[in-house]
Structure 1
């Protein structure tokens, strides 16, 4: 797929990786439909992309809400006339141990709301947006590309029962969709980032940040632009489908 002049939707585009992806694709000439629940951040990303010369519009969408997702994608097609690609990036973290035990007694536990909020956004949100995008791609008969964002934590990570489960589900859906949708000219792949230099990571205490870096054989954090470049690669390489690309500097959990 050629990125220039293609309509590409990105969820979670108001900050972090979503913004980095948007700006990278704006520089490559994409037409961008950017979605987020953070109106201020979304507006900033849209403005940055427009400054780079791209056509960009923002859509306030809670990816966990079926009605908002369906309405958002309908508006995208009305505004842009079609959809060639989706980057399913929106996600949240609500970390915590399954059980906190002190002196042989359970002092606390992961709440249902901690579990459900992450599953709703990270897994159900990917499902809803992927389904909506695939529907449009099939109906137009033009095919397209869906890129899901999983995580190194999909293999399981202490303190992330909810997050790890959601990202493992994203990886499984990626393979399933690739097999189901290939006949309609739709490719589906995923990226599993490792430890990436985001605003949240930059605010960590130096000793915690140092411990993260020590887990990476390359001895550094990944940069947001490196994840954006991987999105670019997947979009343009028409033989990539059904795979989860680990972009983690050699780290393994």
Structure 2
């Protein structure tokens, strides 16, 4: 896919990886539909997109709410007159041990709120956004691409039962959609980042960041733009579908 002039939706587009991907795509001439829950973050990203020589629009949407997502994608198509892809980047964490034991006694367990909140945003939100993007592309006979942001944690990571389940799920869904949607000219793939230097990670204490980096074969955190370039590569290579790209500096959890 030639990205120049294409309309791409990026969820979680207000900051972090979403902002990095927006800027990467903007540099290639794409028109961005930026989705998040914080208007100030969205406005800042859109300003950077415009400074990069492209344009876009912002949308407030809770991706876990079906009606909001249906309205979002209808509005995006009506606003731009096209829809060529979506990056399902919106995600949250609510970490905690599955069961916490102290001195042989169970002191806590992962709550249903911790489970459901992460499931709703990371898994259901990805499902809904991909579904509605596909509806618009099929209905309007436009080929396109769906990219899910998974995680190296999809293989299992202590304290993240909920998160790992969702990140394994979004990878598996991309494989399924690649098979189901190919007949309509729609591809699907996923990216599994390792430890990336987003605002959240960089806010950690320096000693903590150094400890993380020491355990990575590349001996450094990844850069948000390295994930962004991977997303652009998937969009631009029309023979990529159904695969997960691990971008983790050689780290395997």
Query: Normalised by the size of structure 2, how large is the TM-score?
Result: 0.98
**Structure-1 residue corresponding to 2:178:** 178
Structure 1, unmatched stretches of 5+, are none
Query: 1: distance between equivalents of 2:198 and 2:96?
Result: 20
Residues 76-108 of structure 1, C-alpha deviations (whole Å, 9 max, x = no match): 011100100111100001111011111111111
Secondary structure of residue in 2 paired with 1:218: coil
Secondary structure of residue in 2 paired with 1:10: strand
Extract structure 1 runs of 4+ deviating beyond 6 A. none
**Structure-2 residue corresponding to 1:117:** 117
**Structure-1 residue corresponding to 2:152:** 152
Residues 207-234 of structure 1, C-alpha deviations (whole Å, 9 max, x = no match): 3212211221111110000000001100
Secondary structure of residue in 1 paired with 2:34: strand
Residues 164-206 of structure 1, C-alpha deviations (whole Å, 9 max, x = no match): 0000000110100000001110000100000001111111123
**Structure-2 residue corresponding to 1:137:** 137
Structure 2, unmatched stretches of 5+, are none
Superposition map of 1:34-49 within 5 A? 34-49=34-49
Residues 9-63 of structure 1, C-alpha deviations (whole Å, 9 max, x = no match): 1000011000010011111110111100111111111111112221210000110
Matched, 1:95 2:95: yes
- With 43-52 and 70-79 compared, the bigger mean Cα shift is at 43-52
**Structure-2 residue corresponding to 1:240:** 240
Matched, 1:12 2:15: no
Query: Normalised by the size of structure 1, how large is the TM-score?
Result: 0.98
Residues 131-187 of structure 1, C-alpha deviations (whole Å, 9 max, x = no match): 000111111112200011000000000000000000000011010000000111000
Q: Could you say what the CA RMSD is over the residues aligned between the two structures, in angstroms?
A: 0.8
Secondary structure of residue in 2 paired with 1:53: coil
Query: 2: distance between equivalents of 1:40 and 1:65?
Result: 21
**Structure-2 residue corresponding to 1:108:** 108
Query: 1: distance between equivalents of 2:124 and 2:106?
Result: 30
